[in-house]
Chains A and B, each alone.
Chain A
Amino acid sequence: KAGVTQTPRYLIKTRGQQVTLSCSPISGHRSVSWYQQTPGQGLQFLFEYFSETQRNKGNFPGRFSGRQFSNSRSEMNVSTLELGDSALYLCASSLIQSQETQYFGPGTRLLVL
């Protein structure tokens, strides 16, 4: 099976812009989770989607949003970008429960100037 794919791999934006990141889970996986990774804060959970519904959400402002489509593909959107949003954004999929083994994509590295 193909692994988790994320697009784009690298992105440079300026403050105030918005960005959309995409994640395609492993075929058959229904749970998709998103994480933000920075040197200072480590891996921070953003949200998790299952069957097109947000099932869990981390402590991030409303500028961070996401959605999941019927084919389990997921997108996350960050509006009004801030310098502090520069990070590696990781997507992970799992079969049903995101507590179980997660399979990570390579990540999207976002730089906000």
Chain B
Amino acid sequence: SQQGEEDPQALSIQEGENATMNCSYKTSINNLQWYRQNSGRGLVHLILIRSNEREKHSGRLRVTLDTSKKSSSLLITASRAADTASYFCATGPSGGSNYKLTFGKGTLLTVNP
């Protein structure tokens, strides 16, 4: 079953606007990651935030993590048509020997020129 659940399932914005996607999860985590997937292709890693971090930036991306609410958000600023893709959050569990990431079902972002 999916650990992370992204919200919204789909988002359509105009070029230049900001896009915010949210992710909620259920169990304790070691880290949370965001990936992007262009239609029918492999996933590309965007950013990793560890459980002891609250915010992280990478270029036009800003990720926040609230472990008390078990949620994360991904903000893409000044969006471009090339940002059109599906965005997935993935959680790495803490403790045990469960060496795997669990992915959500993704948010489909459409940036209109």
Q: How far is the CA of A105 from the CA of B45 in the complex (A)?
A: 12
Q: How far is the CA of A50 from the CA of B97 in the complex (A)?
A: 13
Contact A109 B40 (CB under 8 A): yes
> Is A66's beta carbon under 8 Å from chain B?
no
Contact B45 A42 (CB under 8 A): no
Contact A43 B30 (CB under 8 A): no
Q: How far is the CA of A106 from the CA of B30 in the complex (A)?
A: 27
Closest-CB distance, B45 to chain A (whole angstroms)? 5
Closest-CB distance, A85 to chain B (whole angstroms)? 17
Q: How far is the CA of A103 from the CA of B97 in the complex (A)?
A: 21
> Is B105's beta carbon under 8 Å from chain A?
yes
Given A56-B99, A101-B33, A101-B48, residue A42 in contact with residue B105 (CB < 8 A): yes
Contacts of B102 in A (CB 8 A): 45
Q: Tally of A-B residue pairs with Cβ under 8 A?
A: 67
> Is B71's beta carbon under 8 Å from chain A?
no
Contacts of A70 in B (CB 8 A): none
Contacts of A104 in B (CB 8 A): 35, 42-45
> Is B12's beta carbon under 8 Å from chain A?
no
Q: Which of B38-54 contact A (CB under 8 A)?
A: 40-45, 48
Q: Interface extent on A, as a size class?
A: 20 to 34
Contact B99 A102 (CB under 8 A): no
Contacts of A100 in B (CB 8 A): 31, 48, 92
Contact A101 B100 (CB under 8 A): no
Q: Which of A43-58 contact B (CB under 8 A)?
A: 43, 45, 48, 50, 55-56, 58
Q: Which residues of B contact A (CB under 8 A)?
A: 2, 30-31, 33, 35, 40-45, 48, 88, 92-93, 97-106
Q: Which residues of A contact B (CB under 8 A)?
A: 4, 31, 33, 35, 42-43, 45, 48, 50, 55-56, 58, 88, 90, 92, 97-107, 109
